[in-house]
Structure 1
Amino acid sequence: MSIQPVSSRTVALVRRTTFLLGSSAALLAVAGPASADVADGWSNPEDVSAVHALLVLGGIPLALGLLITALVYVPAMIRGERLAPNAPLVENQWIGGPRRGTAELAAPDGADSQAGGASARW
């Protein structure tokens, strides 16, 4: 088993990462909480309870998500559509088309008939 030499790019990446992490940690260690008081003339509101904060910050978005999901899925469920992934296609998707396949399509009656093809010309 031989030891591979470390490339200069790897060394530079490690040095850069170490510097960034170290400087970020130093800035966080030096920074302290703000010690300012409420300005004169401003109100000093009461603290918000944790339950109220969870209801406002979590309950409202969750309720909106459930409402949007219901608005999307309920109409499809009322129409009887399948909502599962990879569900088989609903029968009679070809609106106004043949019900039993291409056997119902009109065949050409003669050489000048327009039925049964794209009628491409060269």
Structure 2
Amino acid sequence: MITPALSTTARIAARASLPLVALGAALLASPAHADVAEGWSNPADVDALHALLLLGGVPVLLFVLIGLAVYIPALVRGEDVSPTGGTVESQWIGGPRHAKELASGDTESSETGGAHGSW
């Protein structure tokens, strides 16, 4: 479906209403300034340092504890937990262990080596 182009008047009206829309969005996003309802508690303000330690320290502590839970059993068994693991060999998952195990297509009657394209 092809929509017709907006008229010049409609475009001018749309551009003129942008500041009004922005002001309305800002007013809707501002916090409400109301008293606490009757019967509700009015808790004390939270200290910024306490909030930072709670919201930042707890996730970091969990990260460290999970990391220790993963690495300590391997270290107790005497395994190498370095990223390289000592010696690293290239792996082809699901393929042969060594490139020497691949059959080569030396002759034209060989059935190995890709899509048998011909002219």
- The two structures have a TM-score, normalised by structure 1, of 0.47
TM-score, with length taken from structure 2: 0.48
